[in-house]
Structure 1
């Protein structure tokens, strides 16, 4: 059902807005509207221009609480005052920043050590003491790398003629790393040769001890030590926050409330009157909450509330808040997907819940698979609160019922005796059509019934909206209902072998409703005594009306025939399971139970998904399109928390 809303104006001294918001409004669900835009007829309105004093400290509190493991299980410390909360967050922030600065120094040190590692790594195969080499006075050395193709040329043609020794380090796909040693007298000549071979020098500072391999390992140990230091800092930060967990959670919750309450100013307006500064808030509240709110503030002389009963006194349509029994609550998801009902529409949640589950059960009738959907969906919905899981569970219940009706359990048709029929076998003979599966005929008849119900719902919605044309002359109004009922009665009489009404009676039953539908616009204009003229001339109106009438008749036929898919899926489900059992060797009397299990799981998942989509299509296209617009807007209270609102 749709909760009835009321529009209220709340005003009082400007400096009292925080008290009112915290003491009263935070305990109710109220969708605030911008007072500046809603109350256009009120003069001297100004916006609030103030900076939220809680925003920065709240951001820090939220950050620290997010670092806590299982923060939801922490019991908040309710003994803190507001000043204590600010001091707590400031101290925690200072301690945390100090630890983060130390951690940042560790990160920089690791980067420096990694850079040194990258420099020394290619020279690890060299068996020499780097400190001694870098201290040579009578031997010139050069560390670096040379392209692989130049290195091979150097080895083949030049090394025998050069007074130098090249000691090779590591190689990769492009370069050979190493160092060459030469006497100082030959250094210029050798340097020139190596430069011509594109030798790239790598400068090594005298900061390494032992061999390159030893220096590399020493750097690796130092990196590991600094990583341990960083982990200790993280652990210290975690312990620091954990010791203050109860206070931080309490501060975060309270500051969040205060910040949200302060942000109410964004929707409020100020008004100066007789040198007094007032605030004005306005918005939508559930009728029951309005009554409790008025009772609570009746002795508060600083709060003034006006409940607007006149629709013309405010702008915009009321928001929609759905409130349905727990069993049907998950089906609100389908309503939200299509569009919420307007405030003057019927809430179709219960209708969808019943029809969706029932049709799904017929199309997917199996005791075993239905129980799997029922139990699995119920468990997921219980622990995860996923609406789709609740829908699956309800649909599984009806699948189980129709499994007994069809005598099917996990695809086996010879275990249970059907309480009604077996869809794949039971046939019915009809005049003109011959033999058809009984479920096809029942499905179409059931579709006719649902279309009639949808038309009735349309008439109710149109009557609530005071829409004369929609109530009486629409294709889904009274005229359309009379015509469709006449068609249904005629078909039933013909199929059951009973005599049809006389030609005059049929002409009246069919002709008069169609004529009213054709002339719906001028008739509605005449009844409502509207002075506006038709947008098109009479000739164009007749042409347009003809094609609209053709479309209407076609929609009656196509919508009705569309329900045959209910019977088709009931038959196909039995046929698919028959194939699964054949592949699993069930006919031989020694079935492959693994094949039976996986076949059932596949059908349960894959076909269940297809059936679910097809049923949703029937809901949206064959039923919703006849009575439901879904033009409402969601009720969005400024705080989702609804505390105990008893005084």
Structure 2
């Protein structure tokens, strides 16, 4: 079903809009429309131009809110918007001061860490760094060299007394150290070390003592920074916790104010007797609209007007589906195809019944159906999944048809079928001979569903005041008469009954075809509209085009009916696939391999369940929906719902 909607307009003094939004509008689901667009025939309307004075403060509050793991509060304080803004700004400033101090200490720590990383590799040098870094006649080079080249370096050192390499420590495949060289031979020695892939590291000035002493001093400073950072972090947490209730209340208050303020974008303003009035308009459920109108009856500053005639409105009524818990999960499929127009029939119940029925017919097994049902119940209960709820309902129908076909996990000797065995039941028909019974049933079921959807199409056409299409459309009354007559004729032939007289044949078959062929001129005669100034189609071309279109319609009737053969085909294939599983397990020999039985059931359940689910949805969309349903509705999107 579709909720009945009412269009309403609310007006009052411009300065009173915040009170009305908070006192009335925020308590209901309402889809607001642009008042300037809806009331464009009203003179002297202009947009409501205003800026939110607390928007930046609200954004600050959202930024601070991320610091709280739990944002639920039991005691909500009574704060005005101004008080809420002041609370947020005060807390933000307090936190910012602490955060700035923390950032400053973190920068110092990063500097100490960088200096430590540069000196700790040279801890083995037992000499004051400040002295080394200020040598005047001896040059120094800190760095590392690969162990392989270090041996070659040592060989050079024996013959070259102008360089001294001081080894500090070994790390992985590298030797860390420093070499000293007189200024006079610096270039020559640097070239030798460079050829041996010596990687130089630059040590900045500012260290005191040996590398080990400098490293220990830096570690103490880093530890002090960590302690200070932890202290400030605790202060931040403490400050936030002390102000938690007050802040979260302020955040909530600012959010409500900001959301309500955005309504101004959809409002219009008009001036009357030197006073400016706002106008808000939108759609509500009829029950809510009546409740809102009644609550505003005694309000001296605001007025609510309900519109009874929707034909005068520019925006069409939005669609809000309303179905009971049994069929509500199937709204998922309706939304995938497209929501119904406000005047259209809601197909949720139809797809709920047909989807479950056809799925059960095609996937008939008591055991596997129970598995599907319990899986669906699990997903629906714990994951709140609509698909899980659909599976649960389909599983129930699979169990029902499992009893009708006598199948339990593929075993057909556990229970007797209440109806027939899909792979073995045959029906003798005139002309066709022996035909599997499930094929006959699936064709008859398909014909019944097609005829029913044609009836729904007539109802939809009448709702949209398209009487001509309801009468002469291939899915209208003419189509029902022709297709229904074909169905009756086939049943009479196959059951060996007498055929109707020739004049009945002409009325039931030829007349509907003529009505469909001459649909356009008949509609023009019976329901005249404005003259078409475009090019007129010649009679001969009209007849030729009409005959081809009629042939396409007849072909469509035939192909759509045959599409339901797949329902019987899957019912048979399910039974055959399970026979193969049991044969592979050695069930016929009396000593089955139960692992093969279990794995086979899992494979068939997953594979065929998925394919059947897709095929049934295809039947619903292409064979049912295409006959009566457009799915061109606009979803009801409320501005918001008040929080309890």
What residue ranges of structure 1 are gaps of 5+ in the alignment?
A: none
State the distance in 1 between where 2:87 and 2:419 align: 71
User: In structure 2, the residue corresponding to 1:93 is in which secondary structure?
Assistant: helix
Deviation at residue 104 of structure 1 after TM alignment: 2.6
Provide the residue aligned with 1:443 in structure 2.
442
Provide the residue aligned with 1:27 in structure 2.
27
| Alignment length (residue pairs) | 640
TM-score when normalising by structure 1: 0.89
State the distance in 2 between where 1:127 and 1:336 align: 75
State the distance in 1 between where 2:508 and 2:467 align: 21
Mapping for residues 51-450 of structure 1, pairs under 5 Å = 51-71=51-71, 74-116=73-115, 118-120=117-119, 123=121, 128-129=126-127, 131=129, 134=133, 139-144=138-143, 160-161=159-160, 163-166=162-165, 178-191=177-190, 193-194=192-193, 201-206=200-205, 230=229, 233-234=232-233, 236-450=235-449
Assess, with a 3 A threshold, how the Cα gap between structure 1 residues 218 and 398 changes in structure 2: closer, same or farther. Answer: farther
**Deviations for 1:127-162, whole angstroms, at most 9, x for unmatched residues?**
655737546677532123679999898677787346
Mapping for residues 457-536 of structure 1, pairs under 5 Å = 457-533=456-532, 536=537
1:483–1:513 Cα contact (<8 Å) kept: yes
State the distance in 1 between where 2:616 and 2:489 align: 28
1:129–1:209 Cα contact (<8 Å) kept: no
Deviates more, 1:599-608 or 1:212-221: 212-221
User: In structure 1, the residue corresponding to 2:76 is in which secondary structure?
Assistant: coil
Deviation at residue 13 of structure 1 after TM alignment: 0.7
Assess, with a 3 A threshold, how the Cα gap between structure 1 residues 620 and 155 changes in structure 2: closer, same or farther. Answer: farther
1:29–1:642 Cα contact (<8 Å) kept: no
User: In structure 2, the residue corresponding to 1:506 is in which secondary structure?
Assistant: helix
**Deviations for 1:54-105, whole angstroms, at most 9, x for unmatched residues?**
322332333344443343x542524444444323322332233234324433
Deviation at residue 202 of structure 1 after TM alignment: 2.4
Provide the residue aligned with 1:572 in structure 2.
573
Assess, with a 3 A threshold, how the Cα gap between structure 1 residues 439 and 210 changes in structure 2: closer, same or farther. Answer: farther
User: In structure 1, the residue corresponding to 2:74 is in which secondary structure?
Assistant: coil
State the distance in 2 between where 1:476 and 1:325 align: 29
State the distance in 2 between where 1:194 and 1:618 align: 81
Assess, with a 3 A threshold, how the Cα gap between structure 1 residues 251 and 584 changes in structure 2: closer, same or farther. Answer: farther
2:7–2:306 Cα contact (<8 Å) kept: yes
Deviates more, 1:269-278 or 1:96-105: 96-105
Deviation at residue 106 of structure 1 after TM alignment: 4.5
Provide the residue aligned with 1:547 in structure 2.
548
TM-score when normalising by structure 2: 0.89
State the distance in 1 between where 2:128 and 2:346 align: 84
State the distance in 2 between where 1:600 and 1:240 align: 61
State the distance in 1 between where 2:441 and 2:251 align: 60
Provide the residue aligned with 1:626 in structure 2.
627
Deviation at residue 192 of structure 1 after TM alignment: 5.1
State the distance in 2 between where 1:161 and 1:476 align: 105
Deviation at residue 331 of structure 1 after TM alignment: 1.2
State the distance in 1 between where 2:285 and 2:635 align: 13
Assess, with a 3 A threshold, how the Cα gap between structure 1 residues 47 and 351 changes in structure 2: closer, same or farther. Answer: same
For the pair 1:45 / 2:49, whether they are aligned, the reply is no
Deviation at residue 453 of structure 1 after TM alignment: 0.7
Deviates more, 1:634-643 or 1:215-224: 215-224
Provide the residue aligned with 1:538 in structure 2.
539
**Deviations for 1:165-195, whole angstroms, at most 9, x for unmatched residues?**
345676899x986532234554354235446
State the distance in 1 between where 2:202 and 2:596 align: 69
Assess, with a 3 A threshold, how the Cα gap between structure 1 residues 366 and 211 changes in structure 2: closer, same or farther. Answer: farther
State the distance in 1 between where 2:104 and 2:531 align: 79
State the distance in 2 between where 1:188 and 1:509 align: 112
2:472–2:515 Cα contact (<8 Å) kept: yes
Assess, with a 3 A threshold, how the Cα gap between structure 1 residues 94 and 602 changes in structure 2: closer, same or farther. Answer: farther
CA RMSD of aligned residues (A): 3.3
What residue ranges of structure 2 are gaps of 5+ in the alignment?
A: none
Deviation at residue 509 of structure 1 after TM alignment: 1.7
Deviation at residue 405 of structure 1 after TM alignment: 1.9
Deviates more, 1:482-491 or 1:582-591: 582-591
